[in-house]
Every structure is written in C-alpha cells, then in structure tokens.
Amino acid sequence: MNRDVWVDFNDISDDGEVCTLPKFAERSLEVGEKVLAGDDEGNRCQATVVRVDRKLIVLSLDMATFAACANRKFAHSRNPC
C-alpha cells in the first residue's frame, strides 16, 4: 500500500489528530501539506500535517476519507490486503 506516513489509528485524539514519529514518514513532510496516512492493516485516510519537528509529527485526519481494508488478513482468511 502506498502511504506518505504510518499512523496508529487507535491513537486518534478527541479533536481528530494523531501523532507519529518522523521515522515513520516515507519522505520529509511540511506543515499544511496534504498526505495519505496509513497503517499496516491497509487502513488509510487523508490528513493535513499540523506540526513537524525532530521528535514528532502531528496530523489532522479527515475521517470522511477513512477507508478500512475490506480484506484484512485473519487466521481464517486467504485474501490478505
């Protein structure tokens, strides 16, 4: 799956923001930039970069664009994402 930055969608704040580490970005990100955030399960969401520094990236997620992987790989599934 193509994504600009890895996030943990289980850690979304009440205001729709999520934090991640710069090492999880596929490239340098800039404040105000629109990016595709995704996780290892195939879920993805459009986001806007709110803050970038040496230790942290903060993204504001557009949950209207959230797309869950329909074919997650479970023990009983033969159709991984």
* pLDDT of res. 72: 53
**pLDDT tops 80 at residue 75:** no
Domain range annotation of the chain: 5-65
- Summarised one tens digit per residue, pLDDT across range 12-64 is 999 999 999 999 999 999 999 999 999 999 999 999 999 999 999 999 999 99
C-alpha 80 chain-centroid distance: 19
DSSP 1-63: ---SEE--GGG--TTSEEEE-GGGBSS---TT-EEEEE-TTS-EEEEEEEEE-SS-EEEEE-G
- CA distance to 8, 55, 75, 78, per residue, from 45 (Å): 11, 22, 25, 25
For residue 64, the 8-state DSSP code is G
CATH superfamily of 5-65: Hypothetical PUA domain-like; domain 1 (2.40.240.20)
Higher pLDDT, 12 or 76: 12
Whether the full predicted model's pTM is greater than 0.85, yes or no, is no
Higher pLDDT, 74 or 9: 9
